[in-house]
Amino acid sequence: MNVLNSYQPDQGQGKAGAINDVLPVLPANIRSMLAALPDLFQEKVEEIRLRQGRPLLLGLSNGDVFLCAEGRPTHRINEAYQVTPLDMERVIQLISNSSLYALEEELRNGFITLPGGHRAGITGKAVLDGGKVRTLKYLSGCNIRISREISGAASVVLPYLLDGNEGIFHTVIVSPPCCGKTTMLRDLIRQVSNGVPELGFPGMTVGVVDERSEIAGCYKGIPQRDVGLRTDVLDGCPKAEGMMMLLRAMNPRVIAADEIGRHEDVKALEEVLNAGVKVIITAHGKSLSELLERPVLGKIIKSKMLERFVILGRSRGVGTLEEVIDGKLMRAIGVRKC
């Protein structure tokens, strides 16, 4: 589908939605361009990409478009607004509150968390110290990712994951990039933490290791997303270290983390599993068979310690629930098209 099909001239409606959260960190001229878009189009924007000397681009769930100076989306490069050095200078000033030095630690990771749980990825020249990135300079690119939470996103899969008196099965959410696994993880954490009375499920204490600030979207340590009443968050903490910290200090019944895959992550995960704490994690992949081929993840999957695999895809649009697989029997127990 052409991403411009949904564009309609502005009817003068108020501009509500998540995109409003990031307008204050954009230069006034670009802010005006985005504010000129109608509400329905704004809701589709997932990324705002500024690259110095190149067209201003909006990433949408079904493609991307350029943006004209008057605030109209287009596929024609010659009509697109070109990002200027002044635009880049101004957006960096606004994101950093005119103090890049104070954000040096975040720049080392290549992104800055914004109020509302949104993120600004930054590119430029890496400054190395002992072979490791210390900070960035000559900043020339910025990608602002709009964070949206969907309350109820995990409701369709939750009945497959509940385990009677044990609370919840050890669960892995699997999907390719941009197919909704973090959105589902966030809502699953919220529901497990709050409890689901209609399913007779009481709330459980959840510990979240949010290494990239994507799950809870913490700003200055405070979650900007609803991750539940009984949830503790370690923000910006490496997953392996964070899981051990939570296990030792916070007495969680469930530990959740995003994008498990490194050797040290899986080793820490085994420690958590052996401690009798439930896990809810995500992993990149198109299928369970793809995960089984990976040396590190494949080993723990073959051990059958992980009990449920939720496979997401795009067969009926972003975030389609393709399969729920029993990790002990290694067979599908539910296929829902959503």
What would the pLDDT profile of 68-85 be if each residue is shown by its tens digit? 999 999 999 999 999 999
User: Within this chain, do residues 181 and 303 fall inside the same structural domain, yes or no?
Assistant: yes
Which of residues 113, 145, 177 is at a domain's end?
145
For residues 142 and 162, is the Cβ–Cβ distance under 8 A?
no
Per-residue pLDDT reduced to its tens digit, 287-303: 999 999 998 899 999 99
Asked if the structure places residue 258 within a domain, the reply is yes
The pLDDT, as a whole number, for residue 17 is 60
The backbone region for 57, taken as left when phi is positive above 0, alpha when psi lies in -120 to 50, beta otherwise, is beta
User: How many Å apart are CA 42 and CA 321, to the nearest integer?
Assistant: 26
pTM of structure: 0.78
Measure CA of the first residue to CA of the last residue in the chain; give whole Å.
Answer: 19
pLDDT digits (tens, 9 = 90+) for 161-217: 999 877 999 999 999 887 889 999 999 999 999 999 999 999 999 999 999 888 998
Measured on CA atoms in the order 117, 71, 57, 106, is the torsion positive or negative?
negative
User: Per residue in 26-71, pLDDT tens?
Assistant: 999 999 999 999 888 888 898 999 999 999 999 987 789 999 999 9
Whether 171 and 312 map to the same domain: the answer is yes
Question: What does the pLDDT read at residue 336?
Answer: 52
**63 bridge partner residues:** 60
Instruction: Give me the half-sphere count of Cα atoms (radius 13 Å) on the Cβ side of residue 210.
Output: 27
Q: Which residues lie closer than 8 Å to 13 by C-beta, 6 or more apart?
A: 38, 39
Give the CATH number, domain containing residue 65: 3.30.450
Q: Taking all residues of the chain, what is their mean pLDDT, rounded to a whole number?
A: 87
- Say what the pLDDT of residue 13 is: 32
Helix and strand totals (H; E) in the chain: 11, 17
Segments in 43-152 forming alpha helices (H) = 85-96, 104-109
What's the token pair of residue 325?
């697989």
Q: How many CA atoms lie within 13 A of 128 on its CB side?
A: 3
| Both structure tokens of 95 | 């994101």
Q: What's the structural domain count of the chain?
A: 2
128, pLDDT greater than 90: no
**Residue 171 neighbours by CB under 8 Å, 6+ apart:** 161, 188, 279, 280, 281, 306, 307, 308, 309, 310
CA distance 46 to 147: 8
For the chain, give the percent of residues with pLDDT over 90: 61
For residues 176 and 314, membership in a common domain is answered with: yes
- Hey, how many other C-beta atoms are within 10 angstroms of the C-beta on 151? 11
- Give the range of the structural domain holding residue 50, as residue numbers without chain letter: 19-145
Q: Which residue has the tokens 């943006």?
A: 67
For the residues 294-313, what does the mean pLDDT come to?
Answer: 93
More confident residue, 178 or 141: 141
What's the CATH number where 208 sits?
Answer: 3.40.50.300
